[in-house]
Every structure is written in structure tokens, then in C-alpha cells.
Amino acid sequence: MSYSSPMTTSIYNPRLRLLNALRATSKPIMTFLGLPSFRTAQIVAQTGVDGIIIDCEHGHISDDSMHSATAAIAALGVSPLVRLRMTHADLIKRALDAGAHGIVVPQINTAEEARTVVSHSKFPPQGLRGQGSAFPAIAHGTDIATYLETANETLITCVQIESKVGVENVDAICAVPGVDMIFIGPNDLALSVLGYLPAKETEPEFIDAIEKIVTAARKHGKWVCRLSNNGALCKEHLKVFDTVAMSYDIRAIQNWYTTELQVARS
């Protein structure tokens, strides 16, 4: 049995900004949110980004903060995605029940892990996800019945490839139905492939790993994304990738103060 996916769906919801931009090949730009603040979420959502990845893996984000940030971001017409701590079904359920427009799952190393993520991200008959929350319909600007009918083919399921093992298995991971996007975590990938970070991105082993991931994603019709540290790198990376995540709210604050203090004290 075949199903429509976010890449093939005919459903259009104007609230799903990231999905709509990806389908239009307009090269959307995201960023990461690591601070547990409703107000920070609002401020970042007003900058012009298309999506914000709420970082429950490395950020200081609790379940309560994730719910608040998801609501704040979606209310401003930007797509909230949630990066989970791990692949547990309850974490997937909580993120999607909060109203996330998609999930980002770290450290996916095998096709079986990817299939497990998909199974807990989809309502039956595609998956095992249970229903019980009114919040996602609010974040999607619709009613519960419509959300239930459309969620399976409009929510973005994104998995991260960031290890040698993941690269070795990337073709099989990309072949998994229900995986919509592959995200490259360059720092963890560099640690695994090179033994240090950050990568200079001139190392043959690192370049080869990136190329293998992009090639596999293209072969299986998946969107592919990576982290970019600044606007100039975003512009360069968007020549290859469908979307990028530009830095992090925490780094943005640090960088601004560092730069302006240097000016003030010069």
C-alpha cells in the first residue's frame, strides 16, 4: 500500500510555512532555539526565518518550554520543529502532540532505527501514533478532525546522519518510506569521521561523507539539510541543500556581545 508524503501531498495548509517552502523549492532557512523562553521564541520567529528547530537534545528545553515555544512560533506563522533527545516513542508523541510541524531525530545509524521513528510519527494505518491532544490542530490552524486526516502526509520526519555508521548505512536509511528529510550534523559527523571538530571541510574523508549523504538523499527523493554557521555559509550551502539551519539563538547572542564589546574596547 502506498501513501502520500509531505513531498507528494496535494494538501495545502498556509500555516505550514516550511513544508510549503520546501515543496516550492524556495530554499527556506531555519535556525535552532536552545533557550527555554516563550519570548525568545517569539523574537526569533519574527526575524524572517521559515522554521525554528526547538532543541530538546542539546538546548536547555524542558517539556513545558517545548510546548510554549511550539505555540509561540506557530502563532507567528513560522514552522516549529522539535529536535528530540532520542528516538523514544513518548518523546515523538509529546513533540507532535504539542503541535510541531515536524521532528528532527539525532544519531540515526540504521534503517531499522529510521523505521521505528516513522512508525511512532504516523497515525494508523501507516504507524502506531495515538491521538488525544487538541494542541496540534491549533498549531496547524485547523480542527482536530482535519488534523487527523492530514497529519500523516504533512508532518516532516527528519533524521540526522552524524556518524561513520550512519554514513555507511545512509542508502538504506534514505530508502525508508516516511523519512522525509536527512539532516547533516557536521560537528558530530566530523568527530566520528575525523576525530576532531570543527571540520575544515577540506578533508577528503569529510567531503566524501557529505557527498554520500547528499547522493543517497537525492537518489531516494528526500530533502537534505545541514547546519550552517552564518549567512555567508548559508548562501553557499543552499546551492546544494534544500534548506539549512542557520546557527543558534545562543550563539547569536554570544557573537553579538563579543563583536560589539571588541568595538567598544578598541
Q: State the catalytic residues.
A: 58
* Contact assessment for residue 101 and residue 74, using Cβ atoms and an 8 Å cutoff: yes
* Contact assessment for residue 240 and residue 214, using Cβ atoms and an 8 Å cutoff: yes
Q: Which residues contact 50 (CB under 8 A, 6 or more apart)?
A: 17, 18, 21, 28, 29, 30, 78, 79, 243
CA-based nearest residue to 174, from 99, 106, 111, 132: 111
Q: CA-CA distance, 114 to 69, in Å (whole number)? A: 26
**81 sits in which H/E element:** strand 79-83
Q: Which residues contact 34 (CB under 8 A, 6 or more apart)?
A: 55, 58, 59, 60, 61, 248, 249, 250
Angle between helices 38-45 and 63-75 (to 10 degrees): 30
Q: CA-CA distance, 205 to 210, in Å (whole number)? A: 9
* Contact assessment for residue 228 and residue 251, using Cβ atoms and an 8 Å cutoff: no
Question: Hey, what amino acid is at 234?
Answer: C
Residue 142 is classified by DSSP as: S
CA-based nearest residue to 213, from 202, 204, 225: 225
